[in-house]
Amino acid sequence: MAMQQESSQCRRNPLRRRIHEVIFEADTHAGKVFDAILLLAITLTVITVMLDSVEEIGQRYSSTLHIIEWTLTLLFTVEYALRLWSVRHPWHYAKSFFGVIDLLAIIPTYLSLIFVGSQSLMVIRLSACSGFSVFLKWRATSVR
């Protein structure tokens, strides 16, 4: 009964089904574009962290780097929310390996609002988690 409800729920919501296809199906054109954009965002995150870690650059461009960091964090937050929304069992995804990695990739920047001075360490963890997550997802889809 519950499976029928979920199945009919997905059929009634073509947007949810389409978003799932784009996010989770790397073999479609839209999925490849999504993955490329995600990889670009992760690369920008790593570059931002690297630039911010150079004292002279970090001080001079602090505002710009902060804006880039928060823009990317919001992008990753929307991506995570869409992943949860588009799957049949959001709690199962949230508890999965990739769900935990995705969450760990966005939480550090939000925690930096509470724990002042921890921002640099948190952003490095965000970059590592995001990069690791994309690498594993890419590897999993390229093996098929």
Residue boundaries of the structural domains of the chain:
17-143
Residue 136: which pLDDT band, with cuts at 50, 70 and 90?
low
Measured between its terminal Cα atoms, the distance across the chain in Å is 32
The residues near 75 (Cβ < 8 Å, ≥ 6 apart) are 41
Whether residue 25 has pLDDT greater than 50: yes
Q: Any idea which of 62-66, 94-98, 129-133 has the lowest mean pLDDT?
A: 129-133
Return the amino acid letter for 45. T
Q: What is the Cα–Cα distance from 92 to 49, expressed in whole angstroms?
A: 31
The residues near 138 (Cβ < 8 Å, ≥ 6 apart) are 26, 35
What is the average pLDDT across 111-118? 75
What is the average pLDDT across 62-80? 92
Largest CA distance in the chain: 61
Whether residue 124 has pLDDT greater than 90: no
CATH number 1.10.1740 is the correct assignment for the domain at 17-143: no
Q: What is the Cα–Cα distance from 84 to 91, expressed in whole angstroms?
A: 8
Q: What is the pTM of this model?
A: 0.76
State how far the alpha carbon of 127 is from the alpha carbons of 50, 56, 58, 73, 113, in Å: 10, 21, 17, 10, 18
Q: What is the Cα–Cα distance from 79 to 95, expressed in whole angstroms?
A: 16
Residue 6: which pLDDT band, with cuts at 50, 70 and 90?
very low
Q: Which of 9-13, 26-30, 62-66, 112-116 is the most confident on average? A: 62-66
The dihedral sign for the CA sequence 69, 70, 71, 73? positive
SS3 at position 78: helix
